[in-house]
Structures are given as structure tokens and as C-alpha cells.
Amino acid sequence: MTSEDFIPARLRRLWGRSESSRLGRPATLDVNQVVTASVEIADRDGLGGVTLPKVAKSLGFTGMSLYRYVGSKDELLELMADAALGAPPDILTEDWRAGLRSWAFEQRAVFRSRPWLTRVPTAGPPSGPNQIAWMEVGLVVLSRTRLDWAHKVGVLTLISGYVVQSVRQHSDLAEGRAEGQGQADAERDYGRALVRLVEPARFPEAARLFSSTLFEAPPSSTPDATIADADFTLGLDLILDGVAVRVEHPGS
């Protein structure tokens, strides 16, 4: 028994360690071709547009033939997610907070360019080479702290989850807005409507919120990207403030 026998087939394919046909016949395709075609479809049609028959047709094959190269639709999604994530950038800073901020914004840029990535089901911890590469960069940043491994993994998981949820929520809200309506206008209309519906006697704090100037603040001419950046930065800073406390007191 070799060391390869301890590696599940899906992980061997994810890491490019298994290129042969599962049925023993000469391969006319390879996993990379299948994944590349699938990513192209997702970029064009969204994740819902990726089906084995559609991928196979784009390659000139039948849907069943793809099972020679990927074990299942779930495995294909895992392969796609890692390939689409791509390699991380180098983060050259000695400041852990600045490093994590850059790490988060770089991830966000990838997910915003391919929002379908936020829809890929999470079936387990990071396993692909690109996912591990991103983890490596984050761990290097955190190596300048005294946090233990559990805390380092927890910090990276928390920030990655925040990035995914933030991009997904922003995309959902944009799709739900009326055609041509910007985020600032949508927030203004939301606040003006709720201030008339939320009764102070029943929801005193919520009533105070909607009576404030929060939803009137951004002028309608403010670009959506600027508002989204501000919202994302606020949430990220709150997370990093919490991380800072644990960095200062790692044993607490």
C-alpha cells in the first residue's frame, strides 16, 4: 500500500494527482478541461447554469462520460471553486491587522468578480491547493502573533465567512432592487417606509433607529461601490477589533 492509497480519489483529482480514466480506457479529456469549461459556464450563466449535460455538450461529449473524470456534481463544484478562487497575492506587511485587512479585501475582490462562488455549498474544510494557498498567506500574517493554531484557524474561518456572506448579501440586495435604483436610494426609501410602520410603543429602539438620519445619510449620487466598501469595512473592523483583544491576551 502506497501513501497515495490513503488519499481519497476526489482529493487526488483536486490536487492534480490522478489524470487517468476511471474506466481504464485512454482519456480524451482531462479534469482540467472539464473544470475550465464548467467555470466558463458559471461565469456566464451563474452556478445554476452548470449541469453535467451542459458542460459535456460544451466539450462535445455526453453527460455520462464526465463521470470518468469527476466523481459527482458535488465534486465538480469543489473542483470549480478551487480553480476559480485562484492563487492568492503576496501580502508583504509586518502588521497582522493590515495583513488580515488586505487578505479579506483580496478575497472579496475575487468573490465580487465571480459572485457564483458564494453559492457553492460548503461540504468540508478547505482542501484544494488554491484554498490552502490562501490559508497559508493568512497563517503567515498571523504568525506574527502569539495565537495558537486553533485561534489562527478560527480567525481565518471567521473572516472568510464574513467575506462570503457580505458579497452574497450585497448581490442579493442588488438583485432585489428596482431596475435603475441605487443602494443609497433603496436605503432611503426603506427608512422612510419603516419609520411610518414601526410603532415606538412596540419597538422603541427600532423606532429610534428609523427616526434617525442613518438611512438618509448617503446622497443618492454616492456610487454603490463606495457605500458597499464602507459597510464591508465597518464589519471587518469590528471583527479585527475582537481579534486584537485576543492577540493582546492570547491566554484569556
Q: What is the pLDDT of residues 122-172, one digit of tens each?
A: 878 889 999 999 999 999 999 999 999 999 999 999 999 999 999 999 888
* Residue 130: φ, ψ to 5°: -70, -40
**Residue position matching grid coordinates 410603543:** 201
Say which residue, 24 or 236, is predicted with more confidence.
236
C-alpha cell at 32: 482540467
- Distance between CA 102 and CA 39 in Å, rounded? 26
**pLDDT score, position 136:** 97
| Reported pTM | 0.86
* pLDDT for 18: 61
Q: Render pLDDT for 199-238 as a digit per residue (tens, 0 to 9).
A: 999 999 999 999 999 888 666 666 767 778 888 999 999 9
Of the candidates 54, 55, 51, the one whose C-alpha atom is nearest the C-alpha of residue 34 is 55
Residue 34, CB half-sphere, CA atoms under 13 Å: how many? 32
Burial class (CB in 10 A: 0-12, 13-18, 19+), 18: middle
Q: Per-residue confidence at 22, pLDDT binned at 50, 70, 90?
A: very low
Instruction: Report which of 156, 168, 14, 12 is spatially closest to residue 78, judged by C-alpha positions.
Output: 14
C-alpha cell belonging to residue 102? 488586505
Cell numbers for 65, please give them.
Answer: 462520460
Between CA 19 and CA 71 the distance in angstroms is: 13
Whose cell is 502573533? That residue is 145
First to last CA, the chain: 45
Q: At residue 240, does pLDDT exceed 60?
A: yes
